[in-house]
Amino acid sequence: MSEDALRDFSGVARLFPLPNLVLFPHVVQGLHVFEPCYRQMTADALATDRLITMALLRADADDPSDHPAIEPVVCVGQIVWHEKLDDGKYNLRLRGASRARVVEELASTSTYRRARVELIRDTAPADLALLSRLRRDLAAVVLPQFGDDASARQQLTELFDGDMPLGHVCDVLSYALPLPLEMKQSLLAEAQADQRATAIIDTLRISAARAGRPFPPPFSAN
């Protein structure tokens, strides 16, 4: 959770629902805002706390109204860069700040949806040996996915070898890896870092096994 970004957060979130995007804390997402209601939302955010909350539309939502159902766990993001175009549209960079759980949607007093939310604090076990093992296991399943991309492997190696907490590492991977949308949402909904790490490891192990790749992968002779 980014304490600075959420210092002025009132608990009322401006909702930006999309059908194909799950934002995570600690990552930056580019957005092109063109619909009038979301242009107004962006203007309101820029004039106050700079916060916009990304929500995933439910896959089973069959609602032709202006308020289709959203997943109950969302990501509060902070606008870290913006430009307003001549036609009134915006380009944004939104950095995820915190998971949040929707308590209730509020009656509309504007052109966009709002909800009262509760911030979800990221948690991790105190067992340092477990955290280290999970970090190693993550590296073992993720790095082989980028065998032919030296630049990506280097960046990922630095991520695993750095001092970023395990929960942050999992959020970066959850966002960046080509995981099914429903799994990304389940990872967003999971507050425990060790459980997110285990879910990613298990998923990639199963994927490798189905593709006929051994796990763990053989060591290089070099």
In this structure, what token pair is assigned to residue 167? 């929960």
Does residue 221 belong to any structural domain of this protein?
no
To the nearest whole percent, how much of the chain has pLDDT over 90?
79
Picking from 114-128, 159-173, 201-215, which range would have the lowest pLDDT averaged per residue?
201-215
Domain check: are 170 and 105 in the same one? no
Domain check: are 107 and 140 in the same one? no
What is the mean pLDDT of the segment spanning 55-78? 85
Task: Say how many domains are in the chain.
Answer: 2
CA angle, 181 then 182 then 187, to 5°: 95
Confidence bin at 219 (pLDDT 50/70/90): very low
Does residue 5 belong to any structural domain of this protein?
no
What is the mean pLDDT of the segment spanning 94-102? 98
Residue 221 has a pLDDT of 39
> 75: buried, middle or exposed (CB in 10 Å: 19+, 13-18, 0-12)?
buried
Domain check: are 106 and 50 in the same one? yes
Nearest CA among 122, 113, 101, 78 for reference residue 11 = 101
Picking from 166-170, 176-180, 209-213, which range would have the lowest pLDDT averaged per residue?
209-213
Give the separation between CA 222 and CA 1, rounded to whole angstroms: 41
The parent domain of residue 144 ranges over 128-210
Domain check: are 79 and 154 in the same one? no
Query: 32-53: per-residue pLDDT in tens?
Result: 999 999 999 999 999 999 999 9
Domain check: are 151 and 198 in the same one? yes
Does residue 215 belong to any structural domain of this protein?
no
Residue 63 has a pLDDT of 60
Cα 108–chain centre separation? 26
Domain check: are 42 and 113 in the same one? yes
What is the pTM (predicted TM-score) of this model?
Answer: 0.90
Q: Are 193 and 165 in contact, with CB atoms under 8 Å apart? A: yes
Residue 65 has a pLDDT of 62
Residue type (1 letter), 116? R
CATH (domain of 35) = 2.30.130.40
Does residue 18 belong to any structural domain of this protein?
yes
The mean of the pLDDT values for the chain is 91
Does residue 89 belong to any structural domain of this protein?
yes
Does residue 2 belong to any structural domain of this protein?
no
In this structure, what token pair is assigned to residue 102? 């929707």
Residue 109 has a pLDDT of 75
75, containing H or E segment: strand 73-84
Residue 5 has a pLDDT of 85
Of the residues 120, 139, 162, the one at which a domain ends: 120
